[in-house]
Amino acid sequence: MKKIAVLTSGGDSPGMNAAVRAVVRKAIYNNIEVYGVYQGYQGLLNDDIKKLELGSVGDTIQRGGTFLYSARCPEFKEADVRKKGIENLRKRGIEGLVVIGGDGSYRGAQRISEECSEIQTIGVPGTIDNDINGTDFTIGFDTALNTIIESVDKIRDTASSHARTFIIEVMGRDCGDLALWAGMSVGAETIIIPEVKTEIKEVAERIDHGIRRGKKHSIVMVAEGVMSGESCAQELAKYINVDARVSVLGHIQRGGSPTGADRVLASRLGGYAVELLMNGETARGVGIKNNDLTSTSFDDIFIAEAHKFDHNIYNLTKELSI
Ligand code: ADP
C-alpha cells in the first residue's frame, strides 16, 4: 500500500476533521501518500483530489464540519458515472479509499470495491445520528448530544419561570439515540422515539401527573423520525390543556467543536481504518464495541436490522422521570 485517499460524504458531523487528520497522519507515519478528495463523491467525479501533507491537517482537530467538504451526489449510484470516479483514483495509483460518512456513503464505497479489485475501501462512521450498525457510537454523536443538553438546560430555565411544557424536536433520522440520551441527560418527562410506540394520550397523562405533583415544567423530547415537534404539540392539545411551546433545535446539532469523546473516537477509528488497509482488508466499516476497535463487512452492516437500541436506558429514563 503506497497511496490512499480519504473523503467525507453525506451529512457532516463534528469530529470528521479529527478522523481525516488521523487517517493522514497514520498513513504518512507508515510512509503512505495520502490524497484528499474534496466534496465527497462529487469531488471524485470532478477529479477534485489533492495530495495532503502532515501540515494539511494541522489546526483541524478542534474544528467542527469537514475541511474536505461534504456533498450529496445522487449520480454516484449509477455504475457508468462511478467508472469516472474510479478512474480518477486509478490514474494516481491510489490503492485504498477511506470514506467517512453514513451508511449511504458506505454503499458508494462498497460499489467501488466491487467494481475495481485494485482499490480497497474502508468506511468510518461519521454522523450525529448514531444509526450505523457495527459500532456502539458514531463520530459526532457525543458532540450533538452535548449541544442538545446545553440548549435544553437553557430552555429549562425559561420553562421553569413560566411553568411551561416544552417539546424539543431533535435530529436522528430513524434512530432515537439522540433523543434518548439527551432525554436522560436533561431529565425529560417523556421521550418519543421511533423504536418504541408511544401513545400521545399517555404522554399527556404523564405531563398532567407531573403538574399535579407540583412540577414547575415538563420537557418532552421528540425524535424527528417519529413526528415534528409541532405535530406533537397539536396531538397533545387534544388531551391536555397546557401552555406547550415547541423548540426545533435543527442544524445547530450538527455544528460545533467536537467533544473530547468524539476527538478520541475519530482519532482511533481513523487510525484503525489505515491499519486495515495496510492489512489488505476491504469493504469493511470500522467501529467501536465495548471500547474495543472492531470492523464489520459492509454486507453485514447493511443486512443487520436497525442500530442496536438500548431498552434498559429507555426503561430507566421512564423510572427516573415519574
Ligand atoms: P449518509 O452517508 O450520511 O448516509 P447519503 O445517504 O446522502 O448520506 O449518502 C451520501 C452519498 O453516498 C450519496 O450522495 C451518494 O453519492 C452515495 N451513495 C448513497 N447511496 C449509494 C448507493 N446505493 N450506491 C452508490 N453510492 C451511494
Give the model confidence (pLDDT) of 131-189 as tens digits: 999 999 999 999 999 999 999 999 988 877 777 899 999 999 999 999 999 999 999 99
Backbone phi, psi, residue 232, to 5°: -60, -45
How far is Cα 64 from Cα 200, in angstroms, rounded to an integer? 36
| pLDDT value for 297 | 96
| pLDDT value for 232 | 97
Inter-helix orientation angle 141-162/260-278, to 10°:
160
**Every domain range in the chain assigned CATH 3.40.50.450:** 3-140+258-303
| 25 Cα: distance to centroid of ligand 1 (angstroms) | 26
Choice from 9, 12, 39, 114 to test ligand 1 binding pocket (greatest atom count within 8 A of CB): 9
- Domain boundaries 142-254, CATH class: alpha beta
**Every domain range in the chain assigned CATH 3.40.50.460:** 142-254
**186: annotated binding-site residue?**
no
| 120 Cα: distance to centroid of ligand 1 (angstroms) | 18
Residues taking part in catalysis: 129
User: Which CATH code is given to the segment(s) 3-140+258-303?
Assistant: 3.40.50.450
Distinct helix (H) and strand (E) counts, the chain: 11, 11
How far is Cα 205 from Cα 201, in angstroms, rounded to an integer? 6
pTM of the predicted structure, to 2 decimals: 0.96
| Alpha carbon nearest to ligand 1 atom 11, residue | 105
Which residues in the chain show pLDDT less than 50?
none
Which atom in ligand 1 lies closest to the alpha carbon of residue 106? 2
**222: annotated binding-site residue?**
no
| pLDDT value for 307 | 67
Q: Please state, in angstroms and as integers, the Cα–Cα distance from residue 296 to each residue in 106, 217, 282, following that order.
A: 12, 44, 10
| pLDDT value for 7 | 98
Q: What is the pLDDT of residues 48-59, one digit of tens each?
A: 999 999 999 999
